[in-house]
Amino acid sequence: MVKIEHLVKSYGQNFALDDVSFTVEKGEVVGLLGPNGAGKSTTMNILTGFLSSNSGKAEINGIDILEHPQEAKKLVGYLPEQPPLYLEMTVEEYLNFVYDLKKCTFNRKKHLREICEVVRITDVYKRVIRNLSKGYRQRVGIAQALIGNPEVIIFDEPTVGVDPKQVIEIRNLIRTLGKEHTVIVSTHILSEVQATCNRIIIINRGKIIANERTEEITRTLEDVRRFKIKVAGPQTEVLELLRGRQGITYVEALPEREGDAYAFLCESAPNTDMRKSIFYALADKGWPIMGLEPIGMSLEDVFIKLIDKKAESAKRISRG
C-alpha cells in the first residue's frame, strides 16, 4: 500500500534520510519510532508530497507521489507535527474548507458529522479555532486528516502536548482506524507504539535500525536487566548480599525508604534473569522483598540494544 525505496534527503552536508526503505501493507498500523531529528517528519513529509527526496521513490498504492502527485495525495490523510489550522475560522468552516479542498463527493453533512463524532469535537463545532485548547486543536487536526476517508492515514506525533486522558483516546482512535485504513504514526515514545502498532520501524539519524513486528521488538526489550528492588532488612548487609550475587553487574542503594525497607537499583548481565535467585537468597536471610519493578528502557537504551543485536547477528552471519 505504501512503499518507500532508497529515500535519501540531505540538507547540505547533513543527511536527514540516508537510504530508507520500507513497505506498509494495507490494514497495517505502523509506528515510526525515533528521537527528535531522526528523520520521522522528513519521511512523512516526503510520503505526503510536501517535500521531495534527493533520490529514491515513494509510492502510495502503486502511484508515485512525484509523478502523479494529485492522484497520490487523494489517497492520503495527513496530520503534520503542527496541525495546519486556520485560526480565524470556526471548526465548521475549517472542516468544510478541507472537504472542498480534497474535492470530496460524499454526503457533506453526514461525513463531517461522523468524523466529528469519532474525534469528539462535536461540542466545539461552532467555535473559532483560535479559542480552542491544544487538545481540541490537535483533534481538529486529526479530523482534517480523516476527511475524504483516505486509505492511508499519516499522523506525525499525534499525542504531543495532549493531556493523558486524551492521549488514551487518541491511541484508541488509531487502533480503531487501523481496522479499515493503513496507518503510519510517528512518535518518540516507545510505549506509545507498543500500545497502538502492529509493526515498529525504528529510525535513528536517518537510518532504519529495526523494522519488526511489535511482539518481536517487545520480546527483545523485555528481558529484565535493570530493576528497582525494595527489601525490608539492614541496608548495608542487603547491599553486600546483592553485590555478591553472580550475574549482577551493578547495585546501588537508592535514597528511597519505605518503613524499614530500603530501595536498591540492580542491573544484571545480558540475558540473565536474576529475580528468582535474588528472591531465594533474600528469603534465606529472612529479608522480605517489599517491591520489585523493572525499570523501563529509555529510547537510548533501546537503540543501544538494537544496534548491539544487529551487530551480533551480523557477526553470526559472517561466521556461519
**Candidate list 27, 35, 37, 49; residue touching other proteins; CB under 8 A:** 49
H or E element: which one contains 63?
Answer: strand 63-64
**Is residue 125 near other proteins by the rule CB under 8 A?**
no
**Residues numbered 249-308 forming contacts with other proteins, rule: CB under 8 A:** none
Which residue lies nearer to other proteins by CB, 73 or 199?
Answer: 73
- Could you tell me which of 223, 234, 224, 226 has the C-alpha nearest to residue 282? 234
**Candidate list 71, 117, 180, 240; residue touching other proteins; CB under 8 A:** 71
| DSSP assigned state of 124 | G
- Could you tell me which of 11, 33, 34, 24 has the C-alpha nearest to residue 61? 24
CA–CA gap between residue 173 and residue 273 (Å, rounded): 36
**Is residue 102 near other proteins by the rule CB under 8 A?**
yes
**Is residue 67 near other proteins by the rule CB under 8 A?**
no
Which residue lies nearer to other proteins by CB, 92 or 212?
Answer: 92
**Candidate list 3, 18, 63, 85; residue touching other proteins; CB under 8 A:** 85
**Is residue 216 near other proteins by the rule CB under 8 A?**
no
How would you class 88 by CB atoms within 10 Å of its CB: exposed for 0-12, middle for 13-18, buried for 19 or more?
exposed
Q: What is the CA radius of gyration of the chain?
A: 24
**Is residue 161 near other proteins by the rule CB under 8 A?**
no
**Is residue 144 near other proteins by the rule CB under 8 A?**
yes
User: Are 292 and 275 a contacting pair, CB within 8 Å?
Assistant: yes
**Candidate list 67, 84, 298, 309; residue touching other proteins; CB under 8 A:** 84
CA–CA gap between residue 190 and residue 31 (Å, rounded): 9
Strand 14-24 relative to strand 2-11, pairing: antiparallel
**Candidate list 100, 237, 240, 256; residue touching other proteins; CB under 8 A:** 100
Strand 199-204 relative to strand 29-33, pairing: parallel
**DSSP per position, 176-218:** HHHHHSEEEEEES-HHHHHHH-SEEEEEETTEEEEEEEHHHHH
CA atoms within 13 A on the CB side of 178: 21
Closest distance of CB 72 from other proteins, Å = 8
Binding segment for other proteins (CB under 8 A), chosen from 67-75, 105-113, 200-208, 210-218, is: 67-75
Binding segment for other proteins (CB under 8 A), chosen from 100-108, 114-122, 267-275, 309-317, is: 100-108
Which residue lies nearer to other proteins by CB, 8 or 195?
Answer: 8
Binding segment for other proteins (CB under 8 A), chosen from 65-73, 225-233, 288-296, 300-308, is: 65-73
Closest distance of CB 48 from other proteins, Å = 4
Residues that bind other proteins (CB under 8 A): 11, 45, 48-52, 69-71, 73-74, 76, 78, 80, 82, 84-89, 93, 97-98, 100-103, 144
